[in-house]
Structure 1
Amino acid sequence: MNKNLLPRVSIIVPCYKVEQYLPTCIESVLHQSYDNWELILVDDGSPDKSGKICDEYAKEDNRIKVIHKTNGGVAAARNVAIDLAEGEYISFLDGDDFLHVDYVQDLISLALKHQAGIVQCNYVRGNDRIFPNVTKDLSVKVYNSHSIFTSDAAKIIVWGKLYKTNIVKNFKIPEGRFFEDDWITWRWYYSAKKIVVTSRPYYYYAYNEMSTMTQHKKRPNLSFIDAYNERITFFKQTAERDLEDCSYRQLCKALLLSYMNPMATKEQKQMILFKFSESWNEIRHSSVVSFKLKFSMGLFNIFPNIVTKLANIFLCAP
């Protein structure tokens, strides 16, 4: 295929307190095997040298654009870049993460082959600086806006995916909220006629003690409940009971994990149990919930503390 006819991909990177990770992140884009991309670096008022690092790289490659703005959070940083994105596809990369050399090449190939609105890949987690050689069976599956939810294949994270630009621009990321991924990714999935999922890992999620996701693990933040309530209400209004039940299923999983967090307060646990019981009663007989999940969630609904203790024992076992 003529390289000049290949679509441009806009890679958006919000940068805040990531100076020690950012060079690795940017270098992983510079070394992509696919070269028709633009990299939009958003310095979100970072107090460290992140902004300076962005500017230095932009001087060396005209495909790199830098936006400096006052701190407004990751959603606002991404939205500013979305408005300026010129690519036919958009991908999100966090400043403390990095990409496999074939990330763009292979995801764009799948998008074009299947005429997909979204392509989703797997990821690796750790503290490496070079993408590890992962030997794993490769599978590629194609879903529509319903089966991506009913199959439980949807990953409610914005990164590690390639999106048609119009999908992202039609539904901006809600700003000023925690768990913005929970608020927006389901809308992007639902608006895509076709979603391709590959099991091959192309995204490296670096474990960063200061990252937002890591900080939230210290004590459960239950604001994700509001995001799920909005999603459930939407599918209830559109009379899509299977997708409503899928949303309840995911909410129950998130509540169970939050209850298991040893930092959860007594008040939080009471709220979690109330919301779990309410949600579980909606789907206890649903066909979108597997027998295994019905058994474990039903048991948790009756004996939450016993299930939590058993789960912790198995998780801590060598």
Structure 2
Amino acid sequence: MFLVTIIIPCYNQGQFLQETLVSVYHQTYTDWECIIVNDGSPDSTEEIALDWCKKDSRFIYFKKENGGLSSARNAGLQLSKGDYIQFLDSDDLLAPDKLFFSVKLFDVDTTLDVVITDYNMLDIKNSQIKPPVYNISNVHFNFDTIVNQWDIDFTIPIHCALFKKSSMGNLQFNEILKAKEDWLFWIQFFKKSYNVTFINQQLVSYRLHEKSMTQSASYMVESQSLALVLIKEELSTAQYEAFLLKRLNFYKQKYLDNAFKYSNLKNSLTYRFALKVKSVFKNLGLLPIVKIILQKFRN
């Protein structure tokens, strides 16, 4: 059997951690280690984690100073001993057969580098299980679609994937990004044309709640702006121009949609995001590129 390393970064999600670890414990595939990374959390995370470590030696606890989600995941990667890597946020859940079905596919096809499964949404406020935000069952996962269609046609929650560790090499999450770090990670992973397969079953659950990082509009706007800049390093000049053109076209349409819906545009998320993107590009000397692309767009 192959060892799977499950990496769970934790910061102030103690109220959900217990249920998350239960979902790990109930995996039908039993050859795993679960590294719980306490990212300087002042809540009940440590108590819950240490209790599970006493119950089952497969749970491993590591405490560090607060450095953000990417930093915590990278710390888990440094400690991992597994042949495969499963990322799992401390408020999300794995279905019992998630690891079993994923590892089975790796056994059948040894050329695979990542197995992706479908997911559902847990709405805590309304106590409902909802379908995913995006239908990823028809997505052709490759470098081009990850770059150009992310956040437009689909996203992939990181816990949907089981990665072959040898395929990841030294790849880590960019610690400058406090959100959208998964987008850049996927781009860098698929840059090497990795072999991927998809399991059309909802084997993971993404939890929606008020403390979720994705519920903070300003946080996500700032991170997405920075991600647009960092992605430049992964693309050729022509690819980056085409990428920005598609994004600007998308944001323009959203802006027009908001203009139709709202009278006060300056309070809209799209408007604030556009201002943030402009500011970041200007500070990094990329505004001339954007102006050239905008001119092409006008023509």
Q: Same fold (TM over 0.5)?
A: yes
**How far apart are the structure 1 equivalents of 2:176 and 2:51?**
30
Q: 2:197: which partner in 1? A: 196
Q: 1:61: Cα distance to partner? A: 0.6
1:278-301, Cα deviation, whole Å (9 max, x unpaired): 76985999xxxxxxxxxxxx8xx8
One-letter identity of the residue aligned with 2:227: A
User: Which of 262, 269, 275 is 1:264 aligned to?
Assistant: 269
TM-score normalised to structure 2 length: 0.75
Q: 1:90: Cα distance to partner? A: 0.3
Distance 1:111 1:141, change over 3 A: farther
Matched, 1:82 2:77: yes
Matched, 1:210 2:207: no
Q: 1:293: which partner in 2? A: none
Q: 2:25: which partner in 1? A: 30
Cα contact 2:120–2:130 (8 A) shared by 1? no
Q: 1:165: which partner in 2? A: 165
Q: 1:111: Cα distance to partner? A: 3.0
Identity of aligned residues (%): 24
Q: 1:222: which partner in 2? A: 222
1:85-109, Cα deviation, whole Å (9 max, x unpaired): 0111101100011111111111222
**How far apart are the structure 2 equivalents of 1:111 and 1:221?**
37
Please provide the CA RMSD for this pair: 4.0
One-letter identity of the residue aligned with 2:199: T
**How far apart are the structure 2 equivalents of 1:254 and 1:34?**
43
**How far apart are the structure 2 equivalents of 1:31 and 1:226?**
38
One-letter identity of the residue aligned with 1:210: K
One-letter identity of the residue aligned with 2:93: F
Q: 2:262: which partner in 1? A: none
**How far apart are the structure 2 equivalents of 1:184 and 1:148?**
10
Matched, 1:117 2:113: yes
**How far apart are the structure 1 equivalents of 2:70 and 2:189?**
15
Structure 1: stretches of 5+ with no match in the other structure: 1-5, 286-297, 303-318
**How far apart are the structure 1 equivalents of 2:42 and 2:250?**
36
**How far apart are the structure 1 equivalents of 2:252 and 2:30?**
42
Distance 1:263 1:150, change over 3 A: closer
Structure 2: stretches of 5+ with no match in the other structure: 259-264, 282-286
Matched, 1:62 2:79: no
One-letter identity of the residue aligned with 2:224: F
**How far apart are the structure 1 equivalents of 2:87 and 2:291?**
33
Distance 1:70 1:128, change over 3 A: same
Q: 1:21: Cα distance to partner? A: 0.7
Distance 1:272 1:35, change over 3 A: same
Q: 1:208: Cα distance to partner? A: 2.2
